[in-house]
Amino acid sequence: MSSSPLTPRKALFMGRAMMTIAIAGMLASAALAYVYADHFSIPAQVAGHLALPISAGVFKLGYVVRLAAHNAMGNWQAG
């Protein structure tokens, strides 16, 4: 079973997917930790608070992957 190499297009898709999932995670964890905190237990709120910087880190990694893919494709104007 051979897998195909990571092409710039696949990396671009992966970076965008990571950013999208991270945004959804940030919104959900912020809602759990702040907006609807009174509906959740303390351990759930702690998990929400911990998930927020982790989601931000995943977003930043996705952005770097996206920039690397644009660079590999020769798109110097991507930002």
Provide DSSP, 12-61: HHHHHHHHHHHHHHHHHHHIIIIITGGGS-HHHHHHHHHHHHHHHHHHHH
Residue 2's pLDDT is what? 57
Any idea what the Cα angle at residue 59 is, between residues 56 and 64, rounded to 5°? 130
Residue 17's pLDDT is what? 98
Is this structure's pTM higher than 0.85?
A: yes
Closest Cα partner for 15 from 66, 54, 58, 51?
66
pLDDT tens-digit profile, the chain (79 residues)? 557 788 999 999 999 999 999 999 999 999 999 999 999 999 999 999 999 999 999 999 999 999 999 999 998 888 7
The domain limits of the chain are 8-72
Which pLDDT tens digit goes with each residue over 20-37? 999 999 999 999 999 999
